[in-house]
Structure 1
Amino acid sequence: MILLSFDIEEFDVPREHQVDISMEEQIKVSVEGTNRILDCLKRNQVKATFFCTANFALHAPDIIKRIQAEGHEIASHGFYHWTFKVEDLKTSKDQLEEIIGTKVYGYRQARMMPVSEKAIHDAGYVYNSSLNPTFIPGRYMRLSTPRTPFIKDSVIQMPASVTPLLRFPLFWLSCHNLPASLYRWLCKYTHRHDGYFVTYFHPWEFYPLNEHPEWKLPFIIRNHAGEGMEKRLDAFILYFRKQNITLGRFMDYIKQSKAIIK
């Protein structure tokens, strides 16, 4: 199964580049991008998992209703995207469950940063997808961690996928900047090797970032943003559907595979 996931959150990326952006604008960008993602998933009849900050859900209740109505899984991405406290693990879960009226099983830490597995377990989560088992200077140094699902402190770990040998990351930045056909081939190779594949994107990638030079975003983030990423997501889904490979939600995979996750 190919596990598509989207981290829907406040668009705070300009703040990483010392640019102020209002919360209203952050929410607006992510709402528009999320709608474009949902349109793509709907026309391709694919279900996915949306890791959502409680703050975004409170500011954009209509988009949360649409995600739920169209059969996607909602998981937690913390309370706020810019800041984190351990208490946010429980309060974000509680807030999301109040909004959607059903249980939240999964968690992903903002920016895939380290987080205590015991704290995740204590907050009541079944799985954690906060691990990108690769090396990216200034961000990740996780070359000794498992690349496929495993259990730690009673929580199922669902790492983002990287290639088997060099641990080349196959996340959103790779999709933006590699030739689309090469990206799909690497994903196919990794899926075939591991029998498992997780990738993740953000709604603001599907917004025309190149129209906003005032945000001072690097080219590698702006490259193919907006319509270009919509086309790439469409092509990605079609590529795997033609090979009869299912694209689905995290909890669907866990329910099918729990007996073999060690």
Structure 2
Amino acid sequence: MILLTFNILNIEAEAKNSAEISDVERLKITEDNTKAILRILNIHDIKASFFIEISMAGKLQNLIKAISSKGHEIAFYNLNSNLQEIENVKKNIEDFVEKQVRGIRQKDFKLPLQDLKSLEFNYVSNIDNADILFPFKRLKRDTEINEEDGLSIVPESISPYSQLPYNDFVFQILPMNYYQNMVFETLKNDDFVLIYLNSWQFTDFKKYRFDIPFYRSLFSGKKMEDKLDALLTWINEKELATSRMKDYIF
């Protein structure tokens, strides 16, 4: 099973040459990038899980409604929000889309599992930092979904052969043929492959001059759209099964 997921969050980098990119413009970039992702998913009739950064959720209600109405899963990405903030946003979004938000993803700032369970989340999908050296640091593999404190803990996927993780950076930098082979070989060994991408990777960095490392701008923007399109085309051609995370776990 392929679990395709997207983190919807603003790019945090500053603009180059002392220029300014306002919060309003950053939000618009995120909306446009997400709409591009939705368009590609719709073409291939594939459903995914969207992890919305909590502090942005209230500003993206129309986008969240569009994601949900197309049959995709709404989940949360916790950048640095506290428990009360998460509870308030969760209630508001659930009332707005009339669906329960079951999943939450965390990276640097992680709340205790018992606190997340108290908010009636069902699963946690934590991720690690991804930089140019990151793929060479991951040697241990845990591909089983475990239960802790009443929550399903979904690990990141790692190729058993190349030892490369299925994070945003690896997708962006690897040739698509190699990536497809990696997915295919992993599915022979593991029950699922969890893939995650960030909405900001679909930014046109020639148009929006953010100060980011050169390797992060490679194959971004339209090239990321083309890579996602190529992956989904291959998935359908090979008749590989895909699922929203909440459906697969429950």
Pairwise same-fold verdict (TM > 0.5): yes
Match of 1:116 in 2: 112
Partner SS for 2:114: helix
Partner SS for 1:34: helix
Indicate if the aligned counterparts of 1:47 and 1:72 stay in contact, CA closer than 8 A.
yes
Between 51-60 and 34-43, report the one with greater CA deviation.
Answer: 51-60
Report whether the alignment pairs 1:90 with 2:87: yes
Pairing partner for 1:235 from 219, 230, 233: 230
Indicate if the aligned counterparts of 1:90 and 1:124 stay in contact, CA closer than 8 A.
no
Match of 1:35 in 2: 35
Report whether the alignment pairs 1:128 with 2:128: no
Match of 1:64 in 2: 64
- Whichever residue aligns with residue 108 of structure 1, its letter is R
- Whichever residue aligns with residue 245 of structure 2, its letter is F
Q: TM-score under structure 2 normalisation?
A: 0.88
- Whichever residue aligns with residue 42 of structure 2, its letter is K
- Whichever residue aligns with residue 92 of structure 1, its letter is V
Partner SS for 2:206: helix
Shift of 1:136: 7.9
* Superimposed CA distance per residue, residues 199-256 of structure 1 (whole angstroms, 9 cap, x where no aligned partner): 111222112123333x11112221111110111001111112222111220111112x
Pairing partner for 1:105 from 102, 105, 112: 102
Report whether the alignment pairs 1:168 with 2:157: no
- Whichever residue aligns with residue 202 of structure 1, its letter is N
Shift of 1:170: 1.5
Q: How many residues align?
A: 248
Indicate if the aligned counterparts of 1:210 and 1:222 stay in contact, CA closer than 8 A.
no
Indicate if the aligned counterparts of 1:76 and 1:92 stay in contact, CA closer than 8 A.
no
Shift of 1:148: 2.9
Indicate if the aligned counterparts of 1:54 and 1:77 stay in contact, CA closer than 8 A.
yes
Report whether the alignment pairs 1:189 with 2:185: yes
* Superimposed CA distance per residue, residues 140-199 of structure 1 (whole angstroms, 9 cap, x where no aligned partner): 977657233111221101122111256421211111111111112112222221121111
Report whether the alignment pairs 1:210 with 2:209: no
Structure 2: how far apart are the matches of 1:101 and 1:127? 19
Shift of 1:97: 1.1
Q: Identity of counterpart residues, as a percentage? A: 25
Between 178-187 and 20-29, report the one with greater CA deviation.
Answer: 20-29
Partner SS for 1:77: strand
Indicate if the aligned counterparts of 1:209 and 1:222 stay in contact, CA closer than 8 A.
yes
Shift of 1:131: 3.8
Structure 2: how far apart are the matches of 1:31 and 1:196? 29
Shift of 1:73: 0.6
Structure 1: how far apart are the matches of 2:55 and 2:68? 17
Match of 2:247 in 1: 252
Structure 2: how far apart are the matches of 1:195 and 1:32? 33
Partner SS for 1:30: helix
Between 42-51 and 98-107, report the one with greater CA deviation.
Answer: 98-107
Structure 1: how far apart are the matches of 2:227 and 2:37? 11
